[in-house]
Amino acid sequence: MLRGLLKRNADLRVLGLIRFSYMGQGGYRLHDDPTIRRRVLYDPARLDMRFDLFEQVCLPGLRAQEDADFRVALLVGDDFPQRDRLDALVADVPQIEVVALPPLPHREACHLAMKRVGAGPGWHIQFRLDDDDAVAIDYVGTVRQLLSRHIDHAGRVALSFARGVYAEERAGQVSYHARHSPYHSAGLAMLHRGAGSVMNVAHHKVQIRMSSICDVRPWMYLRTIHRLNDSIGGVPGGFEPEEQVSAPMLKARFGIDHAALEAAMARARAAAPTDAEINPQARRHDAD
């Protein structure tokens, strides 16, 4: 029985989704007019900042995963203007596949991207991550271990990590906040099979849409809060653990260089969209 459980654990695929300025229909709070959306998403200064945050925040943890058996779909538009630059940036992370799609409805695009990296009718794990957030270096192994126990469950099972770090930029200064704050988007994982993707269910509704696990082991995600964020709001309230955020901790848990993170976040201030380019009524993720 133990041998069978270990084999099932090893065989369970872990597949991630990261959207990188994808020029789709829905999925962001930007204006619905495709001309405005393209101008904002593909603005050279904005793309420089997105590349900067992706390189300094998101990629280090994926590159350093202790369990390297995973795949990630990096979703971009088929007219993405700096494809060669993006390909070069992820060249040393073989788990990442750049998936270029035309402007499709958000949910459809995410489903197709996940199919490209191996999602299908059998049970597998999907996780989501924004291009300016990070997961801990033991993330893949942890989600595989925890969710493999629930394959015999009648339906999908979600996994949220409650404890994380928020790095918030204001007026050129970065402050760090340790939080016990579950069911946020960063690193949300799901035991999944069939059509659709982890993006079909809004992260704040996961606990009412399906069975879920909330794990409290420390420092499993890092979220950045800055002027380029598409999300509304800042650092959430809630219980703050006693542990202090430090440069050595950021390096040990997320592979992140503290100075590079702060420099990237400071530079992001210059490329935020204007109020006229934001549609506050937009359904950001086209999710139930």
> What confidence tens digit (pLDDT) does each residue in 54-92 have?
999 999 999 999 999 999 999 999 999 999 999 999 999
- Whole-number percent of the chain with pLDDT over 90: 51
User: What value does the mean pLDDT take over residues 177-198?
Assistant: 84
Give the pLDDT score at 103: 93
Tell me how far apart the alpha carbons of residues 4 and 149 are, in angstroms, rounded to a whole number. Answer: 11
Strands of the 14-19 sheet, one edge to the other: 96-101, 71-77, 14-19, 124-128, 189-192, 157-161, 211-215
Whether residue 277 is predicted with pLDDT greater than 60 in this model: the reply is: no
Tell me how far apart the alpha carbons of residues 202 and 286 are, in angstroms, rounded to a whole number. Answer: 8
User: What value does the mean pLDDT take over residues 278-283?
Assistant: 45
Contacts of 73 (CB under 8 A, 6+ apart): 15, 16, 17, 18, 97, 99, 113, 114, 116, 117
User: What value does the mean pLDDT take over residues 141-162?
Assistant: 89
**pLDDT band, very low/low/confident/very high, at 281 (cuts 50, 70, 90):** very low
Give the pLDDT score at 197: 85
Query: Could you tell me the CA-to-CA distances from 128 to 116, 145, 188 in Å, in that order?
Result: 15, 17, 6
Give the pLDDT score at 68: 97
- Phi, psi (degrees; rounded to nearest 5) at 56: -90, -20
> Looking up tokens 């133990």, which residue turns up?
2
Of 246, 221, 230, 219, nearest in space to 285 by CA = 230
pLDDT in tens, 197-223: 888 777 677 767 788 899 988 789 999
Tell me how far apart the alpha carbons of residues 47 and 210 are, in angstroms, rounded to a whole number. Answer: 36
Task: Say what the pTM is.
Answer: 0.87
Give the pLDDT score at 178: 86
Give the pLDDT score at 133: 95
Task: Please state which CATH number belongs to domain 2-270.
Answer: 3.90.550
Provide the residue ranges of all domains of the chain, joining segments of one domain with +: 2-270
**pLDDT band, very low/low/confident/very high, at 4 (cuts 50, 70, 90):** very low
> Looking up tokens 């996940």, which residue turns up?
114
227 neighbors 169 (Cβ within 8 angstroms): yes
What value does the mean pLDDT of the chain take? 84
Query: Could you tell me the CA-to-CA distances from 42 to 47, 82, 133 in Å, in that order?
Result: 6, 9, 20
Give the pLDDT score at 237: 61
pLDDT in tens, 235-267: 666 656 556 789 999 999 999 999 999 999 888
